[in-house]
Amino acid sequence: MAEGCEVWFYHLERTGLDQALPELLEKTLGRGWKAIVRARQAERIEHLDGWLWTYRDESFLPHAPAAEPGAARQPILLTTDFENPNQADALFLIDGAEPGELGGYSRCLVLFDGADDAQVATARGQWKTIKASGFAVSYWKQQGRGWAKVG
């Protein structure tokens, strides 16, 4: 079995990424961990950069796009790259982003939209590849309130 990193697949069925991601990032920061959110396209990074400041009136999530000066000091880094400049403990993969090297992370969270056939197919392929590499994998499904581990 591969050392260290657990890989959790989150099947979004009841809410979209904009609702689910901030909640999971809050839990990550609550553990005292840093995070990287990796997307496939720069447009998604630009959207999340604005969204994470305003998703809730009473709070925000401290973050920066990887291209900004001092980004490596941020608790949450938004990127399309494979580097880990903020020494993140958790890697969030969205929109079918590739995992790259997982050895430096404690956890990798793959979030995929259950209504998007391409994302579901990508997640299935990633599951097979990651599991075959010896990493511990888990499947989480959205419930009425919160998440349930079902595999």
User: Can you give the pLDDT at residue 122?
Assistant: 96
Largest CA distance in the chain: 43
Q: Report whether pLDDT(22) > 60.
A: yes
User: Can you give the pLDDT at residue 2?
Assistant: 52
CB 110 within 8 A of CB 5: no
CB 85 within 8 A of CB 64: no
Query: Which architecture does CATH list for 6-144?
Result: 3-Layer(aba) Sandwich (3.40)
Give 45-67 pLDDT, tens digit per residue: 999 999 999 888 888 899 999 99
Domain locations in the chain as residue ranges: 6-144
Q: Identify the DSSP state of 113.
A: E
Section 124-145 average pLDDT: 93
Q: Which of 59, 105, 97 is nearest to 78 (CA)?
A: 97
DSSP lists the bridge partners of residue 149 as 140
